[in-house]
Chains A and B, each alone.
Chain A
């Protein structure tokens, strides 16, 4: 079955630490990949996306993600996190023309001052 796996459900780190969240998917064929973020009390919003081209994509707020096709992975990174990065992060995959998204279970990230 097609699936999206996020490796960590809960991450706690200090400000200025580096962050990397893993995401693997099990779809064959062409996929579009997304990272969404939900800050406390806010709507789910797009961090970054990959459709084609350069496998290293840059998003908002200093986040980036690397698409590695051979590993079916799309890991999210940020070199130095801030307290305001405390949020839940979701990896998502679209593999059809209807725009349907399949999400991972999410990772709750807590950044301590």
Chain B
């Protein structure tokens, strides 16, 4: 069966510090991968998606970037965090007819 991992589960970072969130998928190959963010009181917003290694599409302009160095690894990064980057970050992969979500990372930027 397929499994999706995210780490860390929670993170508190100062403004201006770098960020790296990792997502890995098991049990499937060449999945479409997605990063979503849920800010307080808002729904999930798609940030990036990837259809293959090295292929990244950005949905909204922002302070974040994404990379896919391996087929089942998806990384969300920032060189300098902003207060507005706080939120709940979810990684997902796309099956035949639905998306499967990871446990999420709660990021607080102080």
Contact = CB atoms under 8 A, between A and B. Distances in A.
Interface of A: 4, 6, 9, 34, 36, 43-46, 49, 51, 90, 92, 98-106
B49 interface: yes
A34 B98 contact: yes
Contact of B43 (A45, A49, A104): A104
Per DSSP, chain B at the interface is: strand
Interface residues on B, range: 20 to 34
B66 to A, nearest CB: 14
A101 to B, nearest CB: 6
Given A92-B44, A99-B94, A100-B49, 4 more contacts: A4-B43, A34-B98, A99-B34, A100-B59
Contacts of A105: 41-43
A106 B43 contact: yes
B40 to A, nearest CB: 11
B92 to A, nearest CB: 8
A17 B101 CA distance: 30
Contacts of B42: 105
